[in-house]
Amino acid sequence: MTVPQVRLLKTAIPGPASNALHARKSAAVAGGVGTTLPVYVQRAGGGILVDVDGNQLIDFGSGIAVTSVGNSAPRVVEAVQRQVADFTHTCFTVTPYEPYVAVAEKLNALTPGSHEKRSALFNSGAEAVENAVKIARAATGRPAVVVFDHAYHGRTNLTMALTAKVMPYKQGFGPFANEIYRVPMAYPFRWPTGPENCAAEAFAQFVEQVHAQVGESNVAAVIVEPIQGEGGFIVPAPGFLARVAEWCAAHGILFVADEIQSGFCRTGDWFASSFEGVVPDLVTTAKGIAGGLPLAAVTGRADLMDAVHAGGLGGTYGGNPVACAAALAVIETMEAEDLAGAARRIEAVMKPRLEQLAEKYAAIGDVRGRGAMLAIELVEPGTLTPDAGLTNALTAACHREGLVTLTAGTYGNVLRFLPPLVIGEDLLSEGLDILEGAFTAHA
């Protein structure tokens, strides 16, 4: 990789060139398009982002779990350059091409379960989730969709309805799509009777609410993130997902795993569902699938996927050849470099450090996550009261020191860490040192 793997601060963060660009942004770009950290990137590779002032920042965000293979990963660059010179577009539903088929074959092989599968490709995560709902409704002939508290599934009209959090995602954007029903998530840290009761009680509530308020025979699908992403890296209590999946199967309801954030080696296996022994009927993927090129997919049981009439699924750009070439290079990289193993190694380095911090700072109520999808939840010491103020102060302190971190959570009180899976151990440790320094200064 051509970007030196060292942190380097030449100016304040953000520096003058970033500030000048940000003024242009504010004058030209719609205000609704927010900015987490107004540092304008010029180059990136491995675990480093280089900004327009020449600063080199450590990347603990991966563009929200996208550049798992690293930014401009060598195989991706080569594959994209080759494809872009051959042809850029035909529209797969007009005159098809091999890379789309090859991505579908790979997805069918890599997603959980050895049953016969089919895939359909799209542009964004939200579009994949929308299409999973279309497929589930067409295959079951049922209207209702069940989702969970803290869920995030996208920003389109249907996926806003599936998403739980009102601000900023839904405020002012209704009316929303109907036939969406929300049930409690098995959230161990916040479960009223304690984490040990969480799986069983949350499952009982799920069954009761779906039965009483929706009716099993009306439900096409239950959609769940195996580890919730924007909602705060909530790992459902062990056993909960398997019970839900089993119950769905018994009632002809499709279990849809939204692996858009948790998938593609992020959690230490190809898909997070595997840790719970769950084989979903449909899986949605995006983000890490193509190293930053826009690509998403629905993969699932052949009988369900083929239930939709020809022409019922598609789009001008879905499965664009350049994005498909990138995805094939990503998958090759993940296999060749064992990036699932890399995610497990990141967990082995980061989690003990975060746990040590939690021993020292009572504001850390919970340390959780899997692989390179880790988070800490910040509360007022000894309570469950969310501390979004501290979360923002810590984030700002990390940003000033050249560490890109992200927040999450329904209450805005979760610091989440999503380093590229190829990040070096020295950068990982340095990032954790910066986080620790932020705690020393602010907690």
Residues in the chain: 443
Show the 3-state SS of 91-106.
CCCCCCCHHHHHHHHH
Task: Tell me the closest approach of the beta carbon of residue 418 to ligand PLZ, in angstroms.
Answer: 10
| Phi, psi angles (nearest 5°) of residue 408 | -160, -175
Query: In this complex, which beta carbon is closest to ligand PLZ, that of residue 64 or of residue 398?
Result: 64
Angle at the Cα of 409 (from 404 to 410), degrees rounded to 5?
Answer: 145
Task: Tell me the closest approach of the beta carbon of residue 347 to ligand PLZ, in angstroms.
Answer: 19
Query: In this complex, which beta carbon is closest to ligand PLZ, that of residue 153 or of residue 243?
Result: 153
Query: In this complex, which beta carbon is closest to ligand PLZ, that of residue 66 or of residue 253?
Result: 66
Query: In this complex, which beta carbon is closest to ligand PLZ, that of residue 149 or of residue 258?
Result: 258
Pairwise CA distance, residues 46 & 317, whole Å: 28
Cβ-based burial of 390 (10 A; exposed 0-12, middle 13-18, buried ≥19)? buried
Task: Tell me the closest approach of the beta carbon of residue 228 to ligand PLZ, in angstroms.
Answer: 7
CA dihedral (182, 188, 189, 195) positive or negative: positive
User: Which residue sits closest to ligand PLZ, CB atoms considered?
Assistant: 125
Show the 3-state SS of 424-439.
CHHHHHHHHHHHHHHH
Query: In this complex, which beta carbon is closest to ligand PLZ, that of residue 324 or of residue 438?
Result: 324
Task: Tell me the closest approach of the beta carbon of residue 297 to ligand PLZ, in angstroms.
Answer: 11
Q: In what order do the strands lie in the sheet with 41-45?
A: 41-45, 48-51, 56-59, 403-404
Query: In this complex, which beta carbon is closest to ligand PLZ, that of residue 106 or of residue 153?
Result: 153
Task: Tell me the closest approach of the beta carbon of residue 294 to ligand PLZ, in angstroms.
Answer: 8
Which one-letter DSSP state was computed for residue 273?
G
Task: Kindly give the residue spans of alpha helices, DSSP state H, lying in 35-110.
Answer: 62-65, 74-86, 98-110
Residues lying near ligand PLZ in the complex (CB under 6 A) are found at 64, 124-126, 129, 152-155, 225, 229-230, 258, 260-261, 286
Task: Tell me the closest approach of the beta carbon of residue 16 to ligand PLZ, in angstroms.
Answer: 28
Percent of residues in the chain assigned helix, strand, coil, to nearest 5: 40, 20, 40
Spatial CB neighbours of 204, under 8 Å, sequence gap ≥ 6: none
Task: Tell me the closest approach of the beta carbon of residue 253 to ligand PLZ, in angstroms.
Answer: 20
Secondary structure class of 399 (helix, strand, coil):
helix
Task: Tell me the closest approach of the beta carbon of residue 419 to ligand PLZ, in angstroms.
Answer: 16
Query: In this complex, which beta carbon is closest to ligand PLZ, that of residue 264 or of residue 427?
Result: 264
Pair 398, 436: CB distance under 8 Å: no
Query: In this complex, which beta carbon is closest to ligand PLZ, that of residue 53 or of residue 225?
Result: 225
